[in-house]
Structure 1
Amino acid sequence: MKKSIENVLLSKSLLFAIRIVKLYKYLSTDKREYVLSKQLLRSGTAVGTLIREAQNAESKKDFIHKLAIAQKECDETSYWFELLKETEYINQNQFESVNQNAVELLKMIKSSILTIKQKL
């Protein structure tokens, strides 16, 4: 049985959130960085929350709206990754690894939005 894009988004966004929480723990415990890491935690975990909320949307337009906010949060998370790299809280390899997850999610969210819009 083929997984729907929503199920893939749900599972990938949950794994992404888990990774964000672990990165937050690392940054706050090992690096003693509290401000940027808190912003990262907020935006990075919001992605999955919004994707989950979209599953219970009241309409297709509401579904699109929730995914659009998830898209913005995902893009914001990439910004925090870049800032953490540029301020040397994470190295290039760490950045590439976590940012690749964000880019992949962002592409999937955009694709979902476009698919639903075409069906309207």
Structure 2
Amino acid sequence: MSEKKSIIKDKSFAFAVRAIRLFQYLTEIKKEYVLSKQLLRSGTAIGALVREAQNAESTKDFIHKLGIAQKECDETIYWLELLKETEYINDKEFESINNEANELLKMLRSAIITSKKNL
């Protein structure tokens, strides 16, 4: 995996940790269990899929796995937006993690585009 993709691996892992901590906060403090579970699933799936992509059998398989990670990242942003709109998280909490999710989404898209060019 190239240095850029290694950065994606590190950032997606760090993001998963943030998603887990937000899940803990939402369930323990806010007593919110439905949206937070969805956020936990999609937010941790990103890093798992990036790890799977590292062991892809081909470039097409690599692109496919990163494509799924991209979809999970976008879904995570959706759950974050819902949590903000329903006031389970405040603007400051939202901005911080949402910015990280959008940065990760851009990195995934860039890696996919670059990989497609190299087919």
Q: TM-score range by the shorter chain?
A: over 0.9
5 Å-filtered alignment, 1:36-115, equals 36-115=35-114
Give the match for residue 22 of structure 1: 21
Query: What 5-or-longer segments of structure 2 have no aligned partner?
Result: none
Cα distance in 1 for residues equivalent to 2:61 and 2:79: 27
> Normalising to structure 2: TM-score of the pair?
0.98
Query: What 5-or-longer segments of structure 1 have no aligned partner?
Result: none
- 1:6 offset after TM fit, Å? 1.3
Q: Aligned residues: percent identity?
A: 64
Cα distance in 2 for residues equivalent to 1:5 and 1:68: 16
Displaced runs of 4+ in structure 1, greater than 2 A? none
> Normalising to structure 1: TM-score of the pair?
0.97
1:38-70 CA distance string (max 9 Å, x none): 000000000000000000000000000000000
How many residues end up aligned between the 2 structures? 118
Secondary structure, in 3 states, of the residue corresponding to 1:57? coil
Cα distance in 2 for residues equivalent to 1:65 and 1:31: 36
Cα distance in 2 for residues equivalent to 1:64 and 1:7: 15
Letter in 2 for 1:86: E
- 1:90 offset after TM fit, Å? 0.2
